[in-house]
């Protein structure tokens, strides 16, 4: 077998589209497949940690493929065996250290179809490719292309009518995107009426239909479809969900425990998702006992959940108690357990603990490391609160190494432990954080104190820190200039909170910052004090405009929800309401907060995802992006 594998690696590959080569040329389900992508001309080129992502549609679901991966320069290869029921593959290259940096065939995607013994693409493969593009393309930063989705589906249905039954979700989503809303709903209504009558539709597709009816405020049709689901799938997703909801609503914890025992007996978990759902019940009940301070029952219930679920719950409790300064001994115990459980998970993950079926092995491994870092950060915080500063610093050092200093608050905690422990490495650590642009204002003050303690003057300390800051800004600017984009920004026109129409076209010639956010988004709201500082910095500059686009808002009156929040905080933002979430979709946003900096020519110069926790760092980042965009050549 080993010799066969080595021989196979040297067989020629066939092109399956720009940048992608495959062997065999017309792969069949169950075959060994070799893929190769040259990403030298993509945004991911040169990325040190570039990885290959592979999603496979098989057995009616999508899951990540853990292939044997090798890389030479900007060429990455993978070898794996196709599922016996494989229908199609979607591939991409990503840099996991940078948000949304891909080789995704210029947002069109790399796809591999499955063939029959005569070398012809099977009709189901067209439906599977359409599903991957419509429902999972966002994972690879692909353009939303409902027209292409419908082309693939219609051709598959033309060749084999049964394809419609198997790929209803993609069909309805694409039809709705292409013909719904202000384009008329006739096609959508006709399709939903047809789907209502089809037999053999999967529960997943029927549940999708329910969500569609609920969004359309067609409660009767939603309720009728739910009845159909419960009858056809008596132990399916919806019935299990009903049972879990009843348990969660039960106020008597002893009764809830009995209900959970009944649930696990009636609905034994057989998939990763079902295992996670059962874990959720145990940790939910454990958490309620913890809220009562009944630690014995909390530990008893938590022990029935998997190690990752247990660690997450313990960490949440430990952090909350530590923040309040309550029950620190109990908090330390929980944080210690969470840290050790998560440390063990790094190398030996628990069965069923992969968060989602389409998370590849590399991303899952990184998430396990990040979980350990988060829990260790909590444990170190409690150790520091208990006066064990040296031990806290050593543990926090592991956190910083995993996060590569990306979280400024964690960095500051690390520095504070070193300072309280009188660690001689403090000054050099602070210098490193400041030069890399990963320091808070508190850390800069700390360096000044350290500098002055070595018999230097206060003015000298300030000048010293300023010099380090200038070096950090210069390095940041150089990196930004290397990564400037030039893709045209999607056109849009939205109403703001005052009822005024604001269009991107009307702002041409200005640098425009578009910040996508929602009131339920914690990181979005955490970033707003820093964004307010940035707005204030440019309030008299008529060539810079900030737009805060409220999107994915929960609730019916989105305008009121956003307005009440902004007014309650006193922010002076120009907030636009993306009522149907079309603008956020057109920008290809997959998570919020996401900020785009658009240059005077209307090109997306920069994209920033998330919030790292430093107000000063955010302002500096915005300022650097704005000035670079303002000064770029046309």
Place 11 in a pLDDT band, splitting at 50, 70 and 90. very low
Element at 190 (helix H, strand E): helix 186-197
Please tell me the chain's helix, strand, coil percentages from 3-state DSSP, rounded to the nearest 5.
Answer: 55, 15, 30
Place 633 in a pLDDT band, splitting at 50, 70 and 90. low
Query: SS3 sequence, 36-103?
Result: EEECCCCCCCCCCCCEEEEEEEECCEEEECCCEEEEECCEEEEEEECCCCEEEEEEEEECCCCCCCEE
| Architecture of the domain made up of 487-631 | 3-Layer(aba) Sandwich (3.40)
Read off the pLDDT of residues 127-151 as tens digits, 9 standing for 90 and up: 999 999 988 888 888 887 889 999 9
Which of 88-97, 414-423, 465-474, 533-542 bottoms out in mean pLDDT, i.e. has the lowest? 465-474
In the chain, what percentage of residues exceed pLDDT 90? Answer: 56
Question: What confidence score (pLDDT) does residue 6 get?
Answer: 34
- Domain residues of the chain, as ranges? 2-166, 300-476, 487-631
Structure tokens at 559: 């305008």
Read off the pLDDT of residues 336-385 as tens digits, 9 standing for 90 and up: 999 999 999 999 999 888 888 888 888 889 999 999 999 999 999 999 99
Question: What confidence score (pLDDT) does residue 451 get?
Answer: 80
Rounded distance between C-alpha atoms, residue 419 and residue 435, angstroms: 19
Which of 149-163, 168-182, 521-535, 576-590 bottoms out in mean pLDDT, i.e. has the lowest? 168-182
Q: Which range has highest mean pLDDT (173-187, 403-417, 620-634)?
A: 403-417
Residue 330 has pLDDT above 50, yes or no: yes
Rounded distance between C-alpha atoms, residue 14 and residue 33, angstroms: 11
Residue 208 has pLDDT above 90, yes or no: no
Element at 497 (helix H, strand E): none
Q: Which is nearest to 112 in space by CA: 133, 88, 131, 93?
A: 88
Q: What is the mean pLDDT of the chain?
A: 87
User: Three-class SS of residue 293?
Assistant: coil
Read off the pLDDT of residues 241-259 as tens digits, 9 standing for 90 and up: 999 999 999 999 999 999 9
Q: What is the mean pLDDT of residues 83-95?
A: 93
Place 1 in a pLDDT band, splitting at 50, 70 and 90. very low
Strands 603-609 and 594-598: antiparallel
| Contacting residues for 296 by C-beta, under 8 A, at least 6 apart | none
Fold held by 300-476: 1.25.40
Question: What confidence score (pLDDT) does residue 419 get?
Answer: 92
Please state whether the peptide bond connecting residue 408 to the residue before it is cis, i.e. omega within 30 degrees of 0.
no
Q: What is the mean pLDDT of residues 576-591?
A: 87
Which of 14-23, 237-246, 285-294, 577-586 bottoms out in mean pLDDT, i.e. has the lowest? 14-23
User: DSSP of 208-277, one letter per residue?
Assistant: HHHHHHHHTT-HHHHHHHHHHHHHH-TTSHHHHHHHHHHHHH---HHHHHHHHHHHHHHS---SHHHHHH
Q: Which is nearest to 146 in space by CA: 131, 162, 160, 159?
A: 131
Q: What is the mean pLDDT of residues 285-299?
A: 93
Residue 289 has pLDDT above 50, yes or no: yes
Read off the pLDDT of residues 69-86 as tens digits, 9 standing for 90 and up: 999 998 999 999 999 999
User: DSSP of 329-384, one letter per residue?
Assistant: HHHHHHHHHHHHHHHHHHHSPPTT--S-TT--HHHHHHHHHHHHHHHHHHHHHHHH
Read off the pLDDT of residues 36-62 as tens digits, 9 standing for 90 and up: 999 888 888 888 888 899 999 998 889
In the chain, what percentage of residues exceed pLDDT 70? Answer: 92
Question: What confidence score (pLDDT) does residue 168 get?
Answer: 83
Q: Which range has highest mean pLDDT (28-32, 184-188, 268-272)?
A: 28-32
Residue 613 has pLDDT above 90, yes or no: no
Region of 236 please: left (phi>0), alpha (psi -120 to 50) or beta. Answer: beta
What is the model's pTM?
0.70
Question: What confidence score (pLDDT) does residue 110 get?
Answer: 94
Q: Which is nearest to 56 in space by CA: 93, 88, 85?
A: 88
Place 567 in a pLDDT band, splitting at 50, 70 and 90. very high
Structure tokens at 137: 């393309």
Distances (CA, A) of 384 to 8, 177, 255, 380, 552: 56, 53, 40, 6, 39
Question: What confidence score (pLDDT) does residue 199 get?
Answer: 77
Pick the more confident residue, 197 or 512.
Answer: 512
Fold held by 2-166: Immunoglobulin-like (2.60.40)
Q: What is the mean pLDDT of residues 290-307?
A: 93
């Amino acid at each position: 077998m080993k010799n066969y594998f080595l021989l196979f690696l040297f067989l020629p590959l066939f092109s399956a589209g720009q940048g992608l080569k495959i062997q065999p040329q017309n792969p069949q389900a169950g075959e060994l497949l070799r893929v190769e992508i040259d990403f030298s001309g993509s945004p991911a080129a040169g990325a040190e940690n570039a990885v290959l992502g592979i999603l496979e549609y098989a057995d009616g679901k999508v899951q990540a493929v853990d292939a044997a991966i090798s890389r030479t320069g900007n060429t990455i290869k993978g070898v794996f065996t196709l599922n016996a029921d494989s229908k199609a593959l979607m591939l991409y290259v990503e840099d996991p250290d940078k948000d949304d940096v891909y080789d995704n065939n210029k947002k069109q995607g790399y796809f591999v179809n499955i063939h029959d013994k005569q070398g012809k693409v099977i009709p189901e493969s067209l439906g599977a490719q359409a599903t991957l593009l419509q429902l999972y393309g966002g994972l690879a930063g692909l353009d939303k292309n409902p027209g292409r989705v419908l082309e693939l589906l219609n051709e598959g249905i033309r060749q084999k009518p049964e394809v419609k039954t198997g790929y209803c979700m993609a069909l309805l989503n694409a039809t709705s995107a292409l013909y719904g809303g202000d384009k008329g709903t006739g096609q959508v209504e006709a399709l939903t009426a047809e789907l209502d009558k089809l037999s053999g539709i999967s529960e997943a597709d029927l549940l999708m239909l329910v969500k569609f009816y609920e969004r359309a405020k067609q409660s009767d049709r939603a309720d009728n479809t739910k009845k159909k689901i419960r009858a056809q799938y008596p132990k399916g997703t919806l019935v299990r969900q009903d049972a879990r909801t009843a348990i969660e609503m039960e106020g008597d914890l002893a009764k809830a425990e009995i209900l959970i025992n009944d649930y696990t007996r009636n609905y034994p978990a057989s998939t990763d998702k079902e295992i996670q759902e059962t874990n959720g019940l145990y940790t939910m009940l454990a958490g309620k006992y913890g809220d009562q301070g009944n630690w014995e029952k909390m530990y008893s219930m938590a022990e029935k959940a998997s190690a990752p679920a247990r660690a997450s719950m313990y960490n949440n409790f430990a952090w909350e108690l530590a923040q309040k300064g309550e029950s620190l001994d109990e908090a330390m115990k929980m944080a210690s357990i969470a840290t050790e459980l998560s440390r063990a998970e790094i190398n030996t993950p628990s069965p069923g603990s992969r968060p989602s079926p389409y998370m590849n092995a590399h991303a899952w491994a990184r998430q396990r490391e990040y979980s350990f870092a988060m829990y260790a950060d909590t444990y170190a915080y409690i150790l520091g609160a208990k006066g064990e500063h040296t031990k806290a610093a050593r543990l926090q050092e592991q956190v910083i190494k995993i996060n590569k200093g990306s979280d400024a608050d964690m960095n500051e905690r690390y520095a504070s432990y070193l300072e309280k422990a009188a660690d001689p490495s403090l000054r050099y650590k602070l210098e490193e954080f400041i030069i890399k642009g990963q320091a808070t204002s508190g850390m800069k003050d700390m360096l000044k104190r350290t500098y002055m303690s070595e018999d230097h003057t206060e003015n000298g300390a300030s000048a010293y820190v300023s010099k380090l800051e200038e070096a950090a800004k210069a390095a940041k600017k150089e990196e930004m200039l290397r990564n400037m984009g030039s893709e045209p920004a999607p056109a849009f026109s939205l109403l703001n909170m005052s009822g005024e129409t604001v269009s991107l076209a009307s702002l041409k010639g200005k640098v425009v910052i578009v910040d996508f956010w929602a009131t339920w988004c914690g990181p979005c709201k955490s970033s707003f004090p820093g964004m307010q500082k940035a707005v204030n910095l440019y309030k008299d500059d008529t060539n810079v405009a900030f737009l805060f686009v409220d999107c994915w808002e929960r609730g019916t009156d989105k305008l009121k929800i956003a307005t009440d929040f902004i007014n309650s905080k006193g922010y002076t933002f120009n907030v636009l309401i993306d009522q149907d979430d079309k603008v956020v979709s057109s920008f290809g946003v997959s998570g919020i907060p996401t900020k785009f900096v658009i240059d005077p020519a209307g090109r997306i110069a920069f994209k920033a995802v998330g919030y790292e926790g430093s107000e000063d760092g955010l302002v500096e980042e915005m300022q650097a992006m704005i000035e670079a965009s303002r000064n770029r050549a046309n």
